């Protein structure tokens, strides 16, 4: 006996919904879309839109391209030096300038909030720039003291002096009248620059007047001036 063929019943699919004509997003031509999310009349128009979006997202820089520098000569926004770009998206002449830009952005944000320039702490009393930790770090850097914990070392010296100026006997307040001085001036002893044993805290006015004088020379000068004005 011949096997009977089993035929599946035909399923009647719903007819497609006819959509209204619309304008292509790229060329503006009227077309009838097959799906409601179609916005381009052809694949070419869709690819052109993708390329345009990609170009708009790229960072813009003023470039003057030549044969020797195909990506153009660009002016660095940080140091304002002209340099030859090696990439189409390069905006800074070096990584240092890039880091400086990030640091300046951070400083400007903290300055607007009234915080320390280097951390989200409240600035030291008498200043509007740094907290005590970073203020001491800046003072150590200016004095030539390097390495981790340099700010804490300076604070230990101030505590040993009992927060008192060795010349005037006045109280020293960080951020108001305290400054770091070299006992032997830098110009007379370059090897002692940044040496912790050659540093002491004095009043800011005393530091300005002492300048390149040694301790004995400065005291002799003060006595000479005082003798003329009894």
The pLDDT, as a whole number, for residue 187 is 81
The pLDDT, as a whole number, for residue 81 is 84
Residue with tokens 């030291």: 124
Q: Which of 81-95, 172-186, 206-220 has the lowest mean pLDDT?
A: 81-95
pLDDT top residue among 7 and 65: 7
Strand ranges for the chain from DSSP E: 22-23, 30-31, 73-75, 82-84, 178-182, 199-203
The pLDDT, as a whole number, for residue 129 is 83
Q: Two tokens at 114?
A: 């009234």
pLDDT digits (tens, 9 = 90+) for 89-100: 788 888 888 888
pLDDT digits (tens, 9 = 90+) for 11-47: 665 556 678 888 898 888 888 888 878 888 888 998 9
CA angle 143, 196, 193 (to 5 degrees): 50
d(CA 211, CA 193) in angstroms, rounded, equals: 15
The pLDDT, as a whole number, for residue 163 is 93
d(CA 31, CA 2) in angstroms, rounded, equals: 54
The pLDDT, as a whole number, for residue 205 is 93
Confidence of residue 195 (pLDDT cuts 50, 70, 90): confident
Checking if the pLDDT of 9 tops 80, the result is no
Displacement of CA 116 from its chain's centroid (Å): 14
Q: Which of 22-31, 39-48, 110-119, 157-166 has the lowest mean pLDDT?
A: 110-119
Kindly report the pTM of this predicted structure: 0.56
Strand ranges for 62-198 from DSSP E: 73-75, 82-84, 178-182
Give the rounded percent of residues in the chain with a pLDDT score beyond 70: 86
Domains of the chain: 73-113 (no CATH), 132-228 (1.10.30)
The pLDDT, as a whole number, for residue 28 is 87
With 0-12 / 13-18 / 19 or more C-beta atoms within 10 angstroms meaning exposed / middle / buried, residue 139 is buried
């Amino acid at each position: 006996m011949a096997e009977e063929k089993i035929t599946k019943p035909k399923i009647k699919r719903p007819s497609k919904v006819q959509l209204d004509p619309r304008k292509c997003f790229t060329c503006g031509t009227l077309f009838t879309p097959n799906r409601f999310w179609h916005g381009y009349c052809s694949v070419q128009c869709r690819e052109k839109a993708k390329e345009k979006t990609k170009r708009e997202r790229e960072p813009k820089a003023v470039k003057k391209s030549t044969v020797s520098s195909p990506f153009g000569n660009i002016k660095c926004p940080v140091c304002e030096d002209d340099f030859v770009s090696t990439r189409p998206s390069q905006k800074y002449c070096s990584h240092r300038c890039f880091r400086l830009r990030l640091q300046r952005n951070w400083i400007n944000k903290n300055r607007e909030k009234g915080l320390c320039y280097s951390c989200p702490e409240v600035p030291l009393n008498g200043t509007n720039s740094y907290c005590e930790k970073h203020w001491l770090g800046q003072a150590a850097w200016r004095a030539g003291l390097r390495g981790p914990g340099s700010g804490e070392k300076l604070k230990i010296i101030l505590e040993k002096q009992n927060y008192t100026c060795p010349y005037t006997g006045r109280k020293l307040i960080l951020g108001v009248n305290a400054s770091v001085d070299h006992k032997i001036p830098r110009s007379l002893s370059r090897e002692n620059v940044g040496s912790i044993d050659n540093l002491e805290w004095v009043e800011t006015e005393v530091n300005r007047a002492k300048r390149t004088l040694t301790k004995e020379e400065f005291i002799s000068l003060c006595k000479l001036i005082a003798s003329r004005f009894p």
